């Protein structure tokens, strides 16, 4: 089974701190994604990556950056955390060349609170 793990389930940070959210997948997937989930808004795409060192902006990239130095790891970075970035963050991965090419596998999520 595909496994997508995220470094923390719960995280509390102060306004202005630099925050790193880590995501690791164990199935050699090319594509990786970061979403944020807010009640009443569903999930919204922040950034995604097709390959190592490649990144594409999603629908709401402002205030975020990403890093993908290794194929299995995709990091979301909040350069200066703000209270409006308090949210649940979900990572996902997918592999175009498989029998289920467009299925995204999700991690358990990181609930980030910025105070």
Partner 1 sequence: AQTVTQSQPEMSVQEAETVTLSCTYDTSESNYYLFWYKQPPSRQMILVIRQEAYKQQNATENRFSVNFQKAAKSFSLKISDSQLGDTAMYFCAFMKISGGGADGLTFGKGTHLIIQP
Q: Which residues bind partner 1 (CB under 8 A)?
A: 30-31, 33, 35, 40-45, 48, 50, 58-59, 90, 92, 94, 96, 100-104, 106-109
CB of 57 to partner 1, least distance (A): 10
User: Which of these, 68, 59, 67, 108, lies nearest to 88 by C-alpha position?
Assistant: 108
What are 77's strand-pairing partners? 20, 65
When the beta carbons of 22 and 30 are compared against partner 1, the nearer one is 30
d(CA 71, CA 36): 21
Question: For the stretch 78-93, what's the b/e string if a residue is b when 16 or more beta carbons lie within 10 angstroms of its beta carbon?
Answer: beebeeebbbebbbbb
CB of 22 to partner 1, least distance (A): 17
CB of 102 to partner 1, least distance (A): 5
When the beta carbons of 18 and 52 are compared against partner 1, the nearer one is 52
């Amino acid at each position: 089974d595909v496994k997508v793990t995220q470094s923390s389930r719960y995280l509390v940070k102060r306004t202005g701190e630099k925050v790193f959210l880590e995501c690791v997948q164990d199935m050699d997937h090319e594509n990786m994604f970061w979403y944020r989930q807010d009640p009443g808004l569903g999930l919204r795409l922040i950034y995604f990556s097709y390959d190592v060192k490649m990144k594409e902006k999603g629908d709401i990239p402002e205030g975020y950056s990403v890093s993908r130095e290794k194929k299995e790891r995709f990091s979301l970075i909040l350069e200066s955390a703000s209270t409006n970035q308090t949210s649940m963050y979900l990572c996902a991965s997918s592999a175009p060349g498989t029998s289920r090419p467009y299925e995204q596998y999700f991690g358990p999520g990181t609930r980030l609170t910025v105070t």
